């Protein structure tokens, strides 16, 4: 914008300078010509008047007359007779002068006189001459010539040009000042508009310009402000929608991939990082078959490209040393004129659904198996009794004892199943109260001590007195009973079980450690599954249902705590449970 203002000012100055210079030259020449004309007219009138007066003066007095004219008019006076001889001269002696009959002003002089400007050899100066005829003697005609130095004209001309130059310089300065003001008034709003336009081009839609006048420039600035406001609103809405779309895509809980018609990946959300166990942001603008390593997925993409039809398929992928199940949905993106623009892939993680389905199948199978054994025993021994064994008192008592044990086992299994089902319901809530930890531990140890003593197992407990924590006393005791009972079942005779409770900052820590058969590290993730047994024969013979640890896990989570396990094969197992010392807000 400075360049435009500079060009405008220089243009105005050049035009003004040209006009003023031209006008100055014209006016100077006109004034000079007018002055010379006025000077010639004056000199002519003076010459005519002097010639008229000279007609009555005798020739012998011409010299003195000439001197008088010179003194009065401050001019050079020359009187020339009919023959061209100089009879009187105010600058030199007439005798020293040559014949002047051939002088231009003399030869051109008529009734109105003759004038000429030329260099005078006599006085060595350029003079303005005016010759006027007069009559003397017996009708003889002479010429009276007056002359002025041209220097006077030059001095006057210099004054004229000085006046013109000063006047026009002042005018030029005024025009320069006014042009600068006008140029600023014109270009400043344009400059502001340009700055705002540049800011808009750079994406700053908050830029505004001042709109003060009501002329075309003001309308332009107001239009730019309206444009900036509209762009700001549109951009804000676009950014909001873009942020919402990006948040939706990145947090949709499924993998999303867009591939254009050339096979380049143009969009991939953050969830794909966990699916493919890599930084999928590096896939952008890369060919899909060069970055996707899973061949099954590559074939699915190729199938969508070839058939231009929707494809839905389940497949498994390995990520982070785990096998995940995904339902992949691929669909073509059809643009105008039925032209394929690309495809979209959506990957739903159905690993948990598959696990739940497998758990359901395992649960049905385990329940059927667990129920089948006691039911088969009940049926078999009942048939034996009915076939005649009931007549034998010893056999009858033996079989009835077995039927009693199997019935008791069946009842325990059904009770644990009902208990686990009740705990897993959404409406299950603990009876929150202050749990007296020392009293609860004492009662559990007293309850299980005979069973441990029967197996010759040392059962020791270490806990602080007066410790209180929030929870459900009955459920807390149930947790301890299941853990200690498991330890008794899986610890051989002569072993040791230590129960320790400590207060750690904001947690209450319960530790149940035994010296039993232990658990291999591969089995750690499964010990909290329903009906899972580390030693199936030992636990089944002990009357266990395989649901104890599953119940423990749910009850610990209901207490807002968590459980850890450390174990090594044939070296014992340690369960660590952490309860919050204060109830957390839901």
Is the pLDDT confidence value at 537 over 50?
no
The reported pLDDT for the residue numbered 385 is 72
The reported pLDDT for the residue numbered 543 is 45
**Per-residue pLDDT tens over the stretch 446-463:** 888 888 888 888 888 888
Is the pLDDT confidence value at 184 over 50?
yes
Continuous segment of H or E residues that includes residue 266: strand 265-268
Model confidence band, residue 369 (pLDDT cutoffs 50, 70, 90): low
The reported pLDDT for the residue numbered 96 is 74
Which of 38, 152, 129, 35 shows the shortest CA–CA distance to 77?
A: 129
SS3 at position 124: coil
User: In the structure encoding, which two tokens stand for residue 30, read together?
Assistant: 């006109």
Residues whose CB is less than 8 angstroms from the CB of residue 438 and which lie 6 or more positions away in sequence, other chains included: 463, 464, 465, 466, 467
Model confidence band, residue 343 (pLDDT cutoffs 50, 70, 90): very high
Q: How far is CA 382 from CA 98, 108, 389, 413, 572, in A?
A: 184, 175, 9, 21, 41
Average pLDDT over every residue of 107-131: 75
The mean pLDDT of the chain is 78
Average pLDDT over every residue of 561-573: 84
Model confidence band, residue 211 (pLDDT cutoffs 50, 70, 90): low
Model confidence band, residue 322 (pLDDT cutoffs 50, 70, 90): low
Is the pLDDT confidence value at 561 over 70?
yes
Lowest mean per-residue pLDDT among 80-84, 398-402, 432-436, 529-533: 529-533
Model confidence band, residue 2 (pLDDT cutoffs 50, 70, 90): low
Check: CB of residue 206 under 8 Å from CB of residue 227. no
The reported pLDDT for the residue numbered 332 is 92
**Per-residue pLDDT tens over the stretch 287-311:** 988 888 888 889 999 999 998 899 9
What's the predicted TM-score (pTM) here? Answer: 0.42
d(Cα 101, Cα 121) in Å, to the nearest integer?
Answer: 16
Kind of pairing, strands 496-504 and 458-462?
A: parallel
- What are the percentages of helix, strand and coil residues in the chain, rounded to 5? 55, 20, 25
What is the spatial order of strands in the sheet that 125-136 belongs to? 86-89, 76-80, 140-149, 125-136, 114-120
d(Cα 409, Cα 479) in Å, to the nearest integer?
Answer: 20
Is the pLDDT confidence value at 536 over 70?
no
Lowest mean per-residue pLDDT among 19-28, 277-286, 537-546: 537-546
SS3 at position 582: coil
User: In the structure encoding, which two tokens stand for residue 425, read together?
Assistant: 């319901």
Question: 384 has which bridge partners?
Answer: none
**Per-residue pLDDT tens over the stretch 477-517:** 888 888 888 888 888 888 888 989 888 888 888 988 888 88
User: In the structure encoding, which two tokens stand for residue 126, read together?
Assistant: 């350029």
Check: CB of residue 445 under 8 Å from CB of residue 461. yes
d(Cα 66, Cα 73) in Å, to the nearest integer?
Answer: 10
Model confidence band, residue 329 (pLDDT cutoffs 50, 70, 90): very high
User: In the structure encoding, which two tokens stand for residue 40, read together?
Assistant: 């010639």
Query: What are the strands, taking DSSP E only, across 387-475?
Result: 433-436, 458-462, 468-471
Query: What are the strands, taking DSSP E only, across 20-172?
Result: 76-80, 86-89, 114-120, 125-136, 140-149
What is the spatial order of strands in the sheet that 496-504 belongs to? 458-462, 496-504, 507-514, 573-580, 562-567
Give backbone dihedrals phi and psi of 456, rounded to 5 degrees, phi first: 60, 45
């Amino acid at each position: 914008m400075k360049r435009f203002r500079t060009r405008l000012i220089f243009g105005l100055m050049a035009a003004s300078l040209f006009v003023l210079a031209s006008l100055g030259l014209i006016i100077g020449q006109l004034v000079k010509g007018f002055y010379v004309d006025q000077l010639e007219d004056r000199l002519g009138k003076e010459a005519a008047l002097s010639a008229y007066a000279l007609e009555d003066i005798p020739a012998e007095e011409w010299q003195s007359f000439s001197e008088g004219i010179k003194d009065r008019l401050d001019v050079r006076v020359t009187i020339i007779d009919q023959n061209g001889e100089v009879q009187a001269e105010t600058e030199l002696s007439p005798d020293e002068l040559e014949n002047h009959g051939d002088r231009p002003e003399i030869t051109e002089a008529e009734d109105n006189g003759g004038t000429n400007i030329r260099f005078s050899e006599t006085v060595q100066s350029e003079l303005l001459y005016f010759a006027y005829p007069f009559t003397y003697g017996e009708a003889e005609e002479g010429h009276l010539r007056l002359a002025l130095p041209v220097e006077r004209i030059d001095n006057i001309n210099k004054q004229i040009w000085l006046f013109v130059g000063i006047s026009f310089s002042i005018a030029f300065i005024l025009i320069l000042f006014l042009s600068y003001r006008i140029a600023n008034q014109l270009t400043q709003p344009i400059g502001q508009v340009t700055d705002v336009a540049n800011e808009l081009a750079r994406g700053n839609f908050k830029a505004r310009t001042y709109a003060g006048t009501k002329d075309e420039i003001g309308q332009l600035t107001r239009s730019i402000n309206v444009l900036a406001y509209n762009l700001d609103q549109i951009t804000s809405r676009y950014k909001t929608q873009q942020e919402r779309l990006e948040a939706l895509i990145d947090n949709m809980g499924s993998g999303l991939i867009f591939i254009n018609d050339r096979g380049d990946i143009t969009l991939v959300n953050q969830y794909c990082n966990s699916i493919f166990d890599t930084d999928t942001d590096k896939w952008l603008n890369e060919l899909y078959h060069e970055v996707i390593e899973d061949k099954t997925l590559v074939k699915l993409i190729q199938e969508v490209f070839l058939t231009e039809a929707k494809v839905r398929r389940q497949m498994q992928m390995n990520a982070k040393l785990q096998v995940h199940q995904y339902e992949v949905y691929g669909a073509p993106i059809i643009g105008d004129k039925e032209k394929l623009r690309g495809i979209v892939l959506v990957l739903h993680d159905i690993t948990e659904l598959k696990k739940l389905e497998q758990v359901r199948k395992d649960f049905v199978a385990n329940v059927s198996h667990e129920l089948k054994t006691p039911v088969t025993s009940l049926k078999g021994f009942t048939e034996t009794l009915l076939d005649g064994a009931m007549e034998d008192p010893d056999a009858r008592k033996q079989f009835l004892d077995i039927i009693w044990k199997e019935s008791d086992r069946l009842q325990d299994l059904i009770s644990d199943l009902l208990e686990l089902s009740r705990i897993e319901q959404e409406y299950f809530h603990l009876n929150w109260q202050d749990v007296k930890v020392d009293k609860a531990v004492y009662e559990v140890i007293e309850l299980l001590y005979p069973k441990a003593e029967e197996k010759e197992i040392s059962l020791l407990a270490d806990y602080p007195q007066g410790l209180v924590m929030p929870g459900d006393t009955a459920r807390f005791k149930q947790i301890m009973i299941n853990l200690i009972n498991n330890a008794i079942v899986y610890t051989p005779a002569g072993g040791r079980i230590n129960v320790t409770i400590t207060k750690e900052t904001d947690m209450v820590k319960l530790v149940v450690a035994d010296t039993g058969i232990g658990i291999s590290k591969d089995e750690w993730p499964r010990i909290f599954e329903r009906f899972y047994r580390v030693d199936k024969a030992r636990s089944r013979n002990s009357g266990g249902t395989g649901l104890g640890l599953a119940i423990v896990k749910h009850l610990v989570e209901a207490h807002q705590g968590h459980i850890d396990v450390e174990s090594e094969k044939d070296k014992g197992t340690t369960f660590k449970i952490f309860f919050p010392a204060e109830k957390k807000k839901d």
